[in-house]
């Protein structure tokens, strides 16, 4: 009787933790844009500080939870974790750079909403998964939504070029995020999520450090800037990922993925409220199409899982 009572309570608490992580991730764009206005910060510096601050926090939690098992990693899997770390650094830097070019709302919608489409495409190419009608429709919705989100004044070539570059950066960030998803999917079968997450973030910090030094590491920030960096590293990275991985233990992957749609919603609302960003009618329609593409992918995933369960 007690286990029956605890099950729904665990599901509710898990859902709440995932919701909180999505809301925290949704605040990243506004704080990054704030850093750009407060200092000479660049995407590489912000990405480096975010990972460098989060990594020791995650390492402390991981070693406290797993002990020496944290460092028991097969050589092949270590290479996969290093690749995950490199792609983590890549997608974060591309996302931060996209914010500086096209704003928080557009960068977040394009990055987060096209990432599942990239996952489907990479799975098709690398894992030879079948391209279904649902995945094809999702891809078309994502492409159409991205096009509608581009709001360019045709009379200003410099703005057009900046917007196009921002779109490319956001799409590159989504591709990097998709690569991290596929690598994490493989590692999750053999390792605790905290373990691969900690090693990947440490690797990402190491990979970013020389690149940031060569392009110009920004150390000078006002007090508000350092507080923002601490917030990005501890709250939106270490804490948010811990909440997410704790919550997903009590929640299905499909439900968790749908709940994380709160992230782009949070980013867009904060960009409108705090930064005064506006989306025109085409932008709202484009954002809706991007979110619809995710819905189609989740529906397709549910349909395939039902087929698998019926066969078994």
Give 158-206 pLDDT, tens digit per residue. 456 778 899 899 999 999 988 887 887 778 778 888 888 899 999 999 9
For the stretch 241-267, pLDDT in tens is 888 877 776 665 555 555 666 777 788
Share of the chain above pLDDT 70, in %: 78
Share of the chain above pLDDT 90, in %: 36
Range with the lowest mean pLDDT among 18-22, 75-79, 216-220, 264-268?
264-268
Range with the lowest mean pLDDT among 34-43, 56-65, 225-234, 256-265?
256-265
Give the CA distances from residue 46 to residues 87, 189, 225, in Å, rounded to whole numbers and listed in that order.
Answer: 16, 32, 10
End-to-end CA, the chain: 30
DSSP 69: G
- Asked if residue 153 has pLDDT above 50, the reply is no
Its pTM stands at: 0.79
Question: DSSP letters of 91-144?
Answer: HHHHHHHHHHHH-HHHHHHHHHHHHHHHHHHHHHHHS-----HHHHHHHHHHHH
| 309: confidence class by pLDDT, cuts 50, 70, 90 | low
Higher pLDDT, 227 or 295: 227
- Asked if residue 137 has pLDDT above 70, the reply is yes
Give the CA distances from residue 93 to residues 22, 51, 169, 207, in Å, rounded to whole numbers and listed in that order.
Answer: 19, 11, 9, 12
DSSP 239: I
In the predicted model, what is the mean pLDDT of the chain? Answer: 80
- Tokens standing for residue 251: 């929640």
What is the model's pLDDT at position 297? Answer: 64
């Amino acid at each position: 009787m007690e286990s029956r009572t605890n099950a729904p309570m665990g599901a509710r608490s898990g859902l709440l933790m995932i919701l909180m992580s999505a809301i925290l991730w949704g605040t990243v764009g506004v704080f990054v844009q704030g850093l750009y206005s407060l200092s000479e910060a660049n995407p590489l510096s912000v990405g480096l500080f975010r990972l460098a601050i989060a990594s020791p926090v995650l390492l402390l939690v991981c070693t406290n939870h797993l002990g020496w098992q944290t460092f028991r990693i097969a050589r092949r899997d270590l290479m996969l974790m290093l690749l995950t770390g490199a792609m983590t650094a890549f997608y974060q830097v591309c996302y931060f750079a996209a914010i500086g070019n096209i704003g928080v709302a557009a960068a977040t919608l394009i990055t987060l909403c096209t990432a599942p489409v990239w996952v489907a495409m990479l799975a098709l190419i690398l894992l030879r998964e079948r391209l279904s009608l649902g995945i094809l429709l999702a891809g078309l919705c994502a492409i159409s939504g991205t096009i509608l989100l581009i709001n360019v004044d045709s009379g200003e070539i410099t703005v057009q070029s900046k917007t196009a570059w921002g779109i490319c950066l956001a799409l590159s960030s989504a591709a990097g995020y998709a690569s991290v998803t596929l690598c994490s999917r493989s590692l999750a079968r053999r390792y605790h999520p905290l373990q691969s997450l900690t090693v990947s973030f440490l690797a990402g910090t190491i990979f970013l450090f020389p690149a940031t030094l060569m392009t110009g590491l920004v150390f000078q920030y006002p007090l508000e800037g350092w507080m923002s960096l601490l917030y990005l590293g501890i709250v939106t990275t270490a804490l948010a990922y811990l909440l997410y991985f704790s919550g997903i233990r009590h929640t299905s992957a499909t439900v968790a993925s749908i709940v994380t749609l709160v992230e782009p919603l949070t980013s867009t609302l904060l960009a409108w409220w705090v930064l005064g960003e506006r989306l025109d009618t085409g932008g709202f329609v484009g954002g809706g199409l991007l979110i619809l593409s995710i819905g189609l992918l989740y529906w397709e995933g549910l349909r395939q899982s039902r087929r698998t369960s019926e066969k078994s």
